[in-house]
Amino acid sequence: MIIRYQVVLTSLSKSTKHFSIFIVAIVLTRYLSKEDYGSYLQVMLLVNTGAFIAIFGIPSSIYYFLPKVNNRRLLMRITIKLLIFIATVVSVILYVAMPKIASGMNNLQLFDFAGFIAAFVFLQIPIRVFEPFMITTNNVARFVAINTTFNIGLLFALLIPVLLGFTLFEMLRVLFIFYLLQFGVIFIAVVYTYFKLENDSNGDSFKMMDTIHYSAPVGLSGAINELSIAIDKLIVSGYFNPSQLAVYARGAMDIPMLNVVANSFGNTLMPRLVDAYNNDKKEEMIALWHRSIRMMALIIYPAFVFFLLTAQHLIPFLFTEAYLDSVIIFQIYCVSLITRITSYDLVARAVGRTPVMFRVSLMSLILNIVLSITLIKTFGIIGAPIATVLVLLITRVVHLAIVTRLLDISMAAVFPWRSLFSLLFMAIICSVSFWPILWMELNHFVALVLCMLLYGTSLIVYLKYSHVVEVQEKTMIRSLLPKYIKWFI
């Protein structure tokens, strides 16, 4: 399958989960009290953080080793067994430690949910092999179909109970049934693909130590990265009650689609980057890296400017006036989008230099903890987003310095700086079109619609009559558009 179609399909499929979670947040803030919603967020925070940390980078090693080894079935058997073992150990530890965890997070209600939290973690860890296994074996369509189905199913598994007036405990019980069904279907799909897998007589022999050598730095850095992402919410949980966490989380929300596109670009570009590096084609690696960055910035920068300026309407429209205190938190988080235009560890993973990722991630985590605690004590709850944005900026600059060494290029060549400044300038200039709307006393929905229409029109006109997007990017965009609007590009 052509790389751009893989990017589009995987991005759309994975985005359905982000959209489902986003819609769930909109509904839950209306039907649950802030305390119950904060408790739900703490449950999912423990599950997602615990599951991601526990996988130890093992699923990611499939991208790197499965195309290279000769005994592919052995690799997959060992990988799956290892993840099941890890899932068992981690779920038991979480269950036993829940009284202390509940006390530390200022929410004794979590003790009542200990069984659900342990079960969710156990069911989520083994299925992390699904995406890398399907993509590496060129079963993107199967991955997209199953992944999209359950991402949409998650929406109904949460919305139906809350709309029926279920308690939080009853909602989690329905969610357990959903995760159990998801585990069964994905297990069947993986087993079916496993038996279709053929060994490669020309590949390298599978060595468990090679996998550990690759996975350990990836896993440690991934675990630390996940902690770095969640640490602000964990620290906020330690300093504030669940209701305040609910307000903070709605300001610190992930914007659907934006995160997924970067990760999907990284995963689908990875094989080509590895191939270019192995064939000593560094110029091709840099060209691929730059192209993906320009495409990401074309999406990210207009979104950054729009969300930053319209937050005063966006947050209360989505989550009601009760979450007005989330506006400033959301605006601070938006600043991090300026640098969120690539997967910064992509080149290091492609060339097999994964140990360096661990050191950067460890630095990021320590810095995040220190800054978060310090700034929360100084500025209150808004200190957490300020700390997170500062740490993200520092970490990404360090990653760029590493890329310059790995590819033997200067900092001036590591990014397509001129294109990035042009795209950011475009986003700012086009935003002038809706500034007057922000000063009018309009309904939140009406104001947002008018801003989007004016901004979208300005962007289209600017893109059509300027050279801010290169011919290759325009060609790619045109190939993805319906016929009746191709003329815009």
Name the pLDDT band for 11 (thresholds 50, 70, 90).
low
Q: Which parts of 292-413 are beta strand (E)?
A: none
Q: Report pLDDT digits (tens) over 63-98.
A: 767 776 677 778 788 888 888 998 999 999 999 999
Q: Report pLDDT digits (tens) over 184-201.
A: 999 998 888 888 777 655
The reported pLDDT for the residue numbered 481 is 54
C-alpha 474/C-alpha 436 separation (Å) is 31
The reported pLDDT for the residue numbered 273 is 66
The reported pLDDT for the residue numbered 350 is 64
C-alpha closest to that of 368 among 235, 197, 178: 235
C-alpha 249/C-alpha 247 separation (Å) is 6
pLDDT above 70 coverage of the chain, percent? 78
Decide if pLDDT at 174 tops 90. yes
Mean pLDDT of the region 167-192:
93
Q: What is the pTM of this model?
A: 0.78
What is the three-class DSSP state of 406? Answer: helix
Name the pLDDT band for 474 (thresholds 50, 70, 90).
low
* H/E run at residue 483: none
Decide if pLDDT at 250 tops 60. yes
Identify whether the C-beta of residue 21 lies closer than 8 Å to the C-beta of residue 44.
no
Mean pLDDT of the region 206-233:
66
Identify whether the C-beta of residue 314 lies closer than 8 Å to the C-beta of residue 307.
yes
Residue with tokens 């969710």: 120
How buried is 73 (Cβ within 10 angstroms: 0-12 exposed, 13-18 middle, 19+ buried)?
middle
Amino acid at position 429, single letter: I
When computed from its CA atoms, the radius of gyration of the chain, rounded to whole angstroms, is 23
Name the pLDDT band for 206 (thresholds 50, 70, 90).
low
Q: What is the dihedral of CA 120, 121, 124, 129, to 10 degrees?
A: -170
Identify whether the C-beta of residue 317 lies closer than 8 Å to the C-beta of residue 307.
no
Mean pLDDT of the region 213-231:
66
C-alpha 161/C-alpha 167 separation (Å) is 8
C-alpha 381/C-alpha 327 separation (Å) is 13
The reported pLDDT for the residue numbered 443 is 93
Name the pLDDT band for 170 (thresholds 50, 70, 90).
very high
Q: Report pLDDT digits (tens) over 401-444.
A: 888 887 778 888 888 888 899 999 999 999 999 999 999 989 99
C-alpha 59/C-alpha 139 separation (Å) is 16
C-alpha 33/C-alpha 51 separation (Å) is 27
In order of 156, 213, 372, 387, the CA distances from 376 in angstroms are 36, 38, 6, 9
The reported pLDDT for the residue numbered 316 is 94
Query: What long-range pairs does 358-362 form, CB within 8 A, spacing at least 24?
Result: 358/217, 358/220, 358/221, 358/224, 360/221, 360/395, 360/398, 360/399, 360/402, 361/220, 361/221, 361/222, 361/224, 361/225, 361/228, 362/220, 362/221, 362/224
Name the pLDDT band for 317 (thresholds 50, 70, 90).
very high
Cβ contacts of 395 within 8 Å, gap of 6 or more: 228, 344, 360, 363, 364, 367
Name the pLDDT band for 355 (thresholds 50, 70, 90).
low
In order of 8, 58, 387, the CA distances from 1 in angstroms are 11, 25, 41
Please report, in angstroms and rounded to a whole number, the separation of the first and last CA atoms in the chain: 24
C-alpha closest to that of 63 among 10, 19, 15, 18: 10
The mean pLDDT value of the chain amounts to 82
DSSP bridge partners of 204: 69
The reported pLDDT for the residue numbered 19 is 81
Residue with tokens 């997924």: 260
Q: Report pLDDT digits (tens) over 444-456.
A: 999 999 999 999 9
